[in-house]
Structures are given as structure tokens and as C-alpha cells.
Chains A and B, each alone.
Chain A
């Protein structure tokens, strides 16, 4: 589904990604772990098409398309979804209107008819249950005044509505208490299928107890320096990241 080859990216003059190679197949869950500043969030943002991150080398193939040539909205319409680490508050734009506009732009792109208000609300009610989100919250301006947990649940709600092929969860666990974490993870698990894939970007192993990955990759200095299965995450939890840094230094 996703093939990243030798990806280099920088922001302003800081080179952050130094040759990422990663292949994700449909049905898989990949966890990207690593110490702060290793480039995890940059990788997520570069895949979603954030303009500040300039790709200097490498290719990204997504379902046969050159992802790097597409605008952020085209990537979303092709099926890429980024759950933000810090969802943006947008006063004056209602969550429901926003969601309806987004969904219908994606539907039109897929050659489907846009949903009318009734059909949209029906779908919305269905998906709201997944992440235990209240309609009163969705009636408000997008993320405005939402608590940390509410913002993250709103991200997963949006993901449920848009049904992406590839979901990238950027530190979705940060700032969540254990109940919110469980709700968010449960939402992600329900949405998993053999047709879609998930990349979970996280600093801690905690989230991976709920969203069990098929593969775990450790990112350090803008490269994947170690890959393994879920046991690798447990090892990292136990030993921290220093031994990885030491290993890299030794090479």
C-alpha cells in the first residue's frame, strides 16, 4: 500500500529525515517509536503533505500514486488520514459543517454522490458511538475549547467518518488519561480491516498495549535504526532509548 524509499526531508535549514525506508501493506499496523526529536512527527507531517517540510530526496508510493506530487487535500481524498498530535482549534467553523464539507469533497472525488443532511446525520450518529463523542461537542466550533481528550476523540471520529485507507496517528496517546486512551484505541481497533493500514507514531509503549502492532520501528536521527515485532516495544519500555543510541553510535 505504502512504500517509502530513502526519504529525506528538511524544515528550513534543518535536515530532519535522513533516508527513511518503510513498506506498509494493507491490513498491517506499524508502530514508529523513538526519542524526542528523532523525526517521528516530521515523517507523519511529510506523508500528509505539510508544506513546511520539504522533501529533498526519496520517493513515496501510495496505492500506485506518487504521493509527494499530491496536495494535502488530494492525499486525503486518496485515503491518507493524519490524526494530529495537536488538533487545531478553529473558531467559527462548526464541526458538523466541516465534517460534511470534507466527507462530501472526498465522496465526489471517489465518484460517489454527496450525502444530504439526513444521510449525513445518520452516518454521523453511527460513528459517534465508536468514540463515545457527544453531539453537543460536535455542534460547537471545531475543537474550540475542547479538552485534550475531546480533541483526540474528535480526531478518531473524523477518521471513522472519512474511512481512510492509511491512518497515521501522530502521538495520539499524548495527554490522554487511561480512560480516554482506551476509548481512542478501541475506536481505532474497530476501524481496522484487511483493506486499511495504520501507522501509530508514539513515544511510549502504553498505547501499543491497546493497539497491537504487527511491526515496531525505531526512528533515530531521521532514520529507522531498528525494526522488530511488538516485543521490541516492550524492550524499549524497559530499557529506554539509550541503548539504541549507543548501538547507532557504535556502528
Chain B
């Protein structure tokens, strides 16, 4: 038996909401909820969540009565990025909204689907998502298709009350096709919300995927982002996880390299301030030989901000001739900021090239003085150095417009008062 603890209140509330919405009628949702009840929500004693007090935070702010009520109408101009025509897949307060979603052409199609199964060993929040998500949006790109415009998955929040959102989507990218996925949050509410998101992308053979997650929604946001990418033979996948805002942001990003000759890149950038937390857990799973992965995560931590980087790399016995690299670099701007960084490499094959490295330091005083000695103010010089540090993670971004948009957001966050 699981010991009875204070978190049982939250579990009881969740179970009540689950029953009230009639979700127990669906066997798969019932099974997912049972797993959640059995396992309990993770506490700081749970290895995977030892730095992320999500459960504790939820206990204080969780309100079940108002979730998913009255999705309101919002102008679509709010939802899309200016000057960037995009296919839109929109969730309003966590619920998929066909009325707000639109495909620009027939290279992409949307249907509703259901999960096929749930397993006890899944992440507990992911199971919670499966318990509360009635269906999943299926984004489909056929074989041999080049999708011209980005496919934007938008989480729109405008409820005055606390929202417990469980969006769920899957994307299948056909063989020899290419597409760019973009995920972001638009918050038109000063209140808190918990976005407990699950997504799964299946990348067919010899396909190209760029997937950018722009986490810039709201200072009150709690995000639990479970993202899985399954990659087939000879495909190229680039992920960008850019975290600029949020009270607690937890990313569980996993890439399964199921074929040979895959090229997988994971870029992450997190700018943490206030007393916010950004926790990136990544898994790169090399299951077949001759593939390449490269992971670069960088963070700037200010105030009492806290960041966690936990990078797992698996190289399975079959995966000979794997090249897998991982780098995590951090700059602490304050004495009260914290970074916990932990590479975890599990290598069962004997003919592989793997490396990992992490550094944590302060802003380079020599470089700062050099810029100042040419007449550049200290604040601007700091901003330039931080921008340069952060910029490396954005270099792999193929969408130039997106890159310059993110550059501007990063600049604004790093030196709001002193832009050139």
C-alpha cells in the first residue's frame, strides 16, 4: 500500500472531477485513472521529480469546478504569429476547438482519434492526461508531401478561473515528407492554469521534421509537456525547446531512434528569472546502428530562478556505430539562482562515439570589460554577451522568420531596457 500523505486530497479532487465528467465510462480512461491512483502523483522524493514541486504547487491552486467551462470565442489574429501563415490546431482552455483550427491547404489533414493503450510505467502526469483527455487530435501528413507552412499547435487560455488542461495530439509524418511543427501558448488570462500536455510524433522513413516548442505563455503557467518522437530510417529531426516564461515548466522530451542513418538534433534554451522553475528531462534512445544525435541545451538563470537539466542517452546493444553528443551550458546571473545538471548515459554497444559535457559559470568579466572599453554600456554589453550565448542554440533553426521572432523575444527578456 502507498502511504497516506497530504497529496491524497489532490488525488481525491482529481478522482471526483474524473467521475463527475463521466470519464469512467471509457475503459481506457478508467485504466489510466486507476494507474494514477495506484502510483500517486510524484513528490520531491520521486527521483524523476526531485526538483519539480508540481504536485505541491497544484495542491495549493487546483480547483476542479471551473475546468473546461465555456470556451470563449477569440479572434484568430490572436492565435497566429503575424506574417507567418500557419496551419492552426487550436486548443481553447485545453479542449480542441475545430472552430478555431484551420488548414491552409490539403497537405495537412486533421481527424479525431483515440489512444490505443495505456501502461503503468508511463509518466504519472501523462497517465493523468490520458485519464482526462477524451480524444486526441490526429495531424496527418501523407507520404511524399512537402508542407510549405508551419503547423502551429496553439494552446489558448482565457478562463478567469483556474484551468486544468489535458490536450492530446498525435502527428504522423509520411515517408519522404517534410513539415515544421510549432507549438506555443497564448494566454489572455492573468490567472493560473495547468497545461498537462501529451503529444506523440511519428516520423516516417527519410522524412524531415522541425519541431519548435516556444514556451512563452504566462508567468502563472504550470506546464507539464510530455512529448515523444518516434523516428524511422534515414530521417532528420530537429527539436527546439525555448522556455522564456512560466512558473513551473517541465519538459519530458523523448526521441526514439528506431532506424539507421537518423540525424537527430535537440536544442534547448531556457531563460529563468523570478522564482520560476524550468526542468528539462530529455531521452535520446538509439535503438539501431549508424545514427547520429546531438543535443545542446543552454540556460541563463537570474533571481531565484531554478533550472534542471537531466539528459538521458541510451545506446542499445544493437546500436553500434552510434554517434551521440550532449552539451549543457549555464550562466548564473545571481547568487540565488540554481542549476541542477545531470547527464545520464547508458551504453550497451561497444563501438560508439558518445560525449557529454556541462558547464555552469558566470558572465565572462573579461569580455564584458572589452565591450565596455569600446563605449558600450554595461547593460547593453551584458545583453550582447547573453544573446550571443543563447544564440548558439537557435543556429539550427531553419525557419528564418521564427528565428528572428525568437531572437527578438530573447533580446527583450535579456535586456528589456536597453535595446540597440
Contact = CB atoms under 8 A, between A and B. Distances in A.
Interface stretch (B6-14, B252-260, B368-376): B368-376
A101 B365 CA distance: 19
Contact of B375 (A73, A84, A141): A73
A82 B371 contact: no
A145 B98 CA distance: 53
Given A93-B384, A93-B385, A88 B366 contact: yes
B391 A72 contact: no
Interface in B346-395: 364-367, 369-378, 380-381, 384-385, 387-389, 391-392
B384 A101 contact: yes
Interface string A22-62: 00000000000000000000000000111100000000000
Contacts of B420: 101, 104
Contacts of B377: 73, 105
Interface string A97-135: 010011111100100000000000000000000000000
Interface in A79-99: 81-82, 84, 87-88, 90-93, 98
Contacts of B365: 51
B388 A90 contact: yes
A20 B365 CA distance: 27
A73 B385 CA distance: 16
B388 A49 contact: no
A71 interface: yes
A72 B384 contact: no
Contacts of B367: 88, 90
Contacts of B391: 92
Contact of A82 (B373, B380, B388): B373
B283 to A, nearest CB: 29
Size category of the B interface is 20 to 34
Given A88-B366, A92-B391, A49 B375 contact: no
A106 B375 contact: yes
Given A92-B392, A93-B388, A49 B380 contact: no
Contacts of B374: 73, 76, 98, 102, 158, 162
A109 B387 CA distance: 24
B156 to A, nearest CB: 34
Interface string B382-420: 001101110110000000000000000000000000001
B392 A73 contact: no
Contact of A50 (B364, B369, B375, B384): B369
Contacts of A50: 369
Nearest to B395: A92
A103 to B, nearest CB: 8
Contacts of B381: 73
A40 to B, nearest CB: 17
A5 B380 CA distance: 33
A153 interface: no
B390 to A, nearest CB: 8
Nearest to A72: B372
B378 A101 contact: no
A102 B375 CA distance: 5
Interface centre among A48, A101, A158, A162 (most CB of B within 10 A): A101
B388 A76 contact: no
Contacts of B392: 91-92
Contact of B389 (A84, A88, A92): A92
Contacts of A82: 373
Nearest to A159: B374
A77 B384 CA distance: 18
A90 B373 CA distance: 14
Nearest to A76: B375
Contacts of B389: 92
A141 B379 CA distance: 20
Given A90-B367, A92-B389, A98 B375 contact: no
A113 to B, nearest CB: 15
Contacts of B369: 50-51, 72
A168 to B, nearest CB: 10
Contacts of A101: 376, 380, 384, 420
Nearest to A109: B375
Contacts of B370: 84, 87-88, 90
13 contacts: A49-B373, A71-B378, A76-B375, A84-B370, A88-B367, A90-B367, A90-B385, A92-B388, A92-B392, A93-B388, A102-B371, A105-B376, A106-B375
Interface of B: 364-367, 369-378, 380-381, 384-385, 387-389, 391-392, 420
Nearest first, the 9 A-B pairs at minimum CB distance are A92-B388, A76-B375, A102-B374, A72-B372, A88-B370, A106-B375, A73-B372, A93-B388, A105-B375
Given A51-B365, A88-B366, 10 more contacts: A49-B372, A49-B373, A72-B369, A72-B372, A75-B373, A76-B372, A76-B374, A92-B391, A105-B375, A109-B375
